[in-house]
Amino acid sequence: MVKANRNYEIYIIVDGNFDDPTIEGISAKYENFMKKNGAEILNIDKIGRRRLAYPIKKKVNGYYTCFEILAPTDVVGKLEKNFRIDENILRHLAIQLSPADLKEKQDYLKKKALILAKLEAERVTEENNAAASKAEAADAAVKAEQ
């Protein structure tokens, strides 16, 4: 029987006191684990260091990473077991995304990209207008001196 692949978002919080190469190693370890077990990694979002809302295992900082994967259901169970065993992982969360969730996420990302592009265009226009105003003021000053 062929197992159906499903979309998942898997979040992990690694101890934020580790240096960057150590954190990269931990992320790479789980990335390789997912690939070996038949998961297709769609995206890895390294969110970065954040202060935790409350101490976890006496730690107050964590490094957040999100893996977006397409995988059989048994892979997620194996991953969660490894997360529980690994003392470097403070917390983990696996979320199965339905087709409706995926569509909503894509729509959100498209809207966000449009808004960011619009804001960048406005910023560039304002900078160009400011530069033009400065140039006009400099020309007027030169003409006034003559």
Q: Is the pLDDT assigned to residue 13 strictly greater than 90? A: yes
Same domain, 107 and 92: no
Same domain, 105 and 37: no
Q: Structure pTM?
A: 0.72
What pLDDT is attached to residue 1?
53
Q: How many domains, in total, are found in the chain?
A: 2
Same domain, 91 and 133: no
Could you give the count of Cα atoms lying within 13 Å of 92 in the half-sphere of its Cβ?
Answer: 20
Cβ–Cβ < 8 Å for 89, 25: no
The whole-number average pLDDT for the span 50-68 is: 91
124 CB contacts (<8 Å, ≥6 apart)?
none
What pLDDT is attached to residue 21?
92
Same domain, 40 and 73: yes
144 CB contacts (<8 Å, ≥6 apart)?
none
Residue 29: CATH number of its domain: 3.30.70.60
